[in-house]
Amino acid sequence: MIHKTGTFIAVLFALTAAMPALAAPNSADACSLLSQGQVSAAVGKQVGAGTWMTPSFKATCNWTATGVIVTLMTEGLDQYQAGKTPISPMMQIVPASGIGDDAYYVVTGTIVVLYTKKGSVAFKTSIYSKLPIDTLKNMESTLASQVASEL
């Protein structure tokens, strides 16, 4: 089981490593799209500085505080569009109005992720915490609106 899980993670990482080439050039560094202050204000806690998954993969940025992880990831428009189709009956796709050119939430159990498109740039905003879904949606919406307004 460990070997299969390790193989899955390695394949997933290899696939996501190619994603920056699909994102627009001005969005290649996800940590540059939100400030530590913006993230802290949105989640109501002081978060640490944004950090990349690895120094060579700047399309994903994470900010953390006790009990909360905020992730911003740029992605290609094809991934954005593909995300509108649920891959499991447990997934709910919920339109999100007033954010960027188009946006939707993917809700699976207690996890919600906001996908946003603005022009030729697509990105996803996710907050991992034990907070209620509506609270997470509001926080993600605030952050996504800030990113979209700068694109």
pTM above 0.85, yes or no: no
CA distance linking residue 103 with residue 83, whole number of Å: 11
Q: Where are the domains of the chain?
A: 20-150
pLDDT tens track for 83-95 = 898 888 899 999 9
Rounded CA gap, 75 and 44, in Å?
27
User: What values do phi and psi take at 4, rounded to 5?
Assistant: -65, -40
H/E run at residue 64: strand 57-65
The letter for the amino acid at 128 is Y
pLDDT by residue (tens digit) across 78-137? 889 988 988 888 999 999 999 999 999 999 989 999 999 999 889 999 999 999 999 999
- Domain range 20-150, its CATH number among 3.40.1000, 3.30.450, 3.90.1480, 2.60.40: 3.40.1000
| Residue from 84, 64, 90, 74 nearest 33 by CA | 74
